[in-house]
Amino acid sequence: MSVEKLHFLKTGRCGVAAWMLDTQNRPAGMLDLPIWAYLIETTDGPILIDTGMPDEMIGKPDLFTQPGREPEIVPRMTADDTILAALGRAGYQPSDLLCLVNTHTHFDHSGGNRHFHGVEVVIQKAEYDAAIANRGADPSDFWNDAGLNYRIVEGDVELVPGVRLLFTPGHTVGHQSVLVTTPKTGAVLLTVDASYCRANFEDGIPFAGADEGLELQSIAKLREIAKAEQAFVFYGHDTVQETQVDTYPAAY
């Protein structure tokens, strides 16, 4: 088995308070961030990384806004932004997948999980255990569906030749990033939310998460891997970088 192509899939946008990307300087205002899923085509079938936001956020930007308070999270989603629509544009449906990888259980990464019954969902043990422990208490409970078949992994693992899962806790307790090696581009490091943006990764600016110290340790680990692999590094929610990559049908 080998990796053939990597595609970037856009799955909507989300407004977030700017301080969340820089908890040191805490700038005021809101940012409008891209939400991504990633499709890896292999000789044995496609692998999907993350499932975007849940369908019930379509046309509901005020879902998280408390009356009388400044909004901090504003999902901007249309029917075209669902994971099924994005996957469909690439010519696939869930049953075509070799497997699905969940980088973590936040709503903008596992929101569409429920559409993937019958597909193996690969998640880190620490992330799964924490999700189980917080079940019901966390508003982003979209990972939690009785029909889902989770496959638990622990630490850094080779998912298939050319796709490595990297344990990068900090943003959440069991976050994982993905290193993909493609024939066209070579190594591509999808930090996902181990770095929201370039400043987190390159300048070590801490950002919103469960444990900022652990975030910086995971970034140090990823920087070493990126250097050793001479990887193209793609961040989880970077508004500059989103203008520099091409989405499906472009392939990397």
CB of 252 to Zn ion, least distance (A): 20
The least CB distance from residue 81 to Zn ion, in Å, is 14
Of 22, 50, 81, 108, the one binding Zn ion by CB under 5 A: 108
With respect to Zn ion, which residue has the nearer C-beta, 104 or 164? 104
Choose between 138 and 229: whose C-beta lies nearer to Zn ion.
138
127 binds Zn ion (CB under 5 A): no
164 forms beta bridges with: 158, 179
Question: How many CA atoms within 13 Å lie on the side-chain side of 150?
Answer: 23
Site for Zn ion in 186-205 (CB under 5 A): 193
Residue whose CB is nearest to Zn ion in the complex, by number: 193
Contact 119, 95 (CB under 8 A): yes
**Residue 222 Cβ vs Zn ion, minimum distance, rounded to whole Å:** 16
Q: Which is nearer to Zn ion, 111 or 162 (CB)?
A: 111
151 has which bridge partners? 122
* Beta carbon of residue 221, minimum distance to Zn ion (angstroms, whole number): 19
We find the least distance from the C-beta atom of residue 1 to Zn ion, in angstroms, to be 29
Reading the block at residue 139, the tokens are 């508003």
Helix (H) or strand (E) holding 34: strand 30-42
C-beta closer to Zn ion: residue 99 or 190? 190
- Integer Cα distance of 39 and 53 in angstroms: 16
Q: Which of 140, 134, 179 lies closest to 35 in space, CA to CA? A: 140
Q: Which CB, 108 or 215, lies closer to Zn ion?
A: 108
Q: What's the closest the beta carbon of residue 168 comes to Zn ion, in angstroms?
A: 13
The residue count for binding Zn ion (CB under 5 A) is 2
Amino acid at 219: I
With CB under 5 A as the contact rule, which of the stretches 43-51, 86-94, 104-112, 213-221 interacts with Zn ion?
Answer: 104-112
Nearest CA-CA partner of 235 in 202, 209, 211, 213? 202
Nearer to Zn ion, 16 or 40 (CB): 16
60-86: string of b/e by CB count within 10 Å (b at 16+)? Answer: ebebbeeeeeeebbbbbbeeebbbbbb
Q: Least distance from C-beta 43 to Zn ion, angstroms?
A: 30
Tell me how far CA of residue 8 lies from CA of 20, 81, 94, 124, 192, in angstroms: 24, 13, 17, 22, 12
Residue number with CB closer to Zn ion (42 or 110): 110
In the complex, the residues that contact Zn ion under the rule CB under 5 A are: 108, 193
